[in-house]
Amino acid sequence: MGEKYEKMKAIRDEVIALTGGLADFRRENKYHAVLGEGSHDAKIMFVGEAPGKNEAEQGRPFCGAAGKLLDKLLESVGIPRADVYITNIVKDRPPSNRDPLPSEIELYAPFLDRQIEIIQPKCIATLGRFSMEYIMRKFGLSFELEPISKAHGKLYEAEAPWGGTLKIAPQYHPAAAIYNQSLIETLKKDFQILKTI
């Protein structure tokens, strides 16, 4: 199946074997860990925060209402979902869809780091503020950090550890637009930037 597939499988096996905290919550509820899906050669990688209930039940990222909106946004810029890679920082669902805790981000982030290394995308589109903060810090852009209300729709450049330039495109989380319809137009406009990648 190839080296990338094997490396991704190793990450999956390690996440599934975790114990304590969210991993125990996963087992108690017969949920799945949500590793990510899409092309291992994707130019654009989407990183959300953590899976919700639908995602944990199906083991797929962005498969509920927010996922349907993400699909529409991708369609609006002519990018097939199969061509991108979609994942979250935290791979297990936090109870009651609460925000992930700093300790949970710390535990799961190394898995995301390895996924980024395997895929080596040209652009990481972050979905939501937790993802934006983590990715911007990881790639040495702490000094550029600002609230997502200001950062969305911009394109930041960082040095990619595998060589060349990595673009970071902070976006609102699609779930935010479900509660605030006026954000849908903003998201559509912000997604236009991904056409340039």
Express each pLDDT in 75-130 by its tens digit. Answer: 999 999 999 999 999 999 999 989 999 999 999 999 999 999 999 999 999 999 99
The secondary structure of 51-87, three-state, reads: CCHHHHHHCCCCCCHHHHHHHHHHHHCCCCHHHCEEE
Quote the pLDDT of residue 20.
Answer: 96
Q: What is the pLDDT of residues 141-190, one digit of tens each?
A: 999 999 999 999 999 999 999 999 999 999 999 999 988 888 999 999 99
Quote the pLDDT of residue 179.
Answer: 84
pTM across the whole model: 0.96
Walk me through the domains of the chain, giving residue ranges and CATH numbers: 3-196 (3.40.470.10)
Quote the pLDDT of residue 97.
Answer: 84
Quote the pLDDT of residue 189.
Answer: 95
Distances (CA, A) of 23 to 40, 48, 112, 175: 25, 18, 16, 24
Q: Cα–Cα distance between 112 and 128 in angstroms, integer?
A: 16
The answer on pLDDT for 2 being more than 80 is: yes
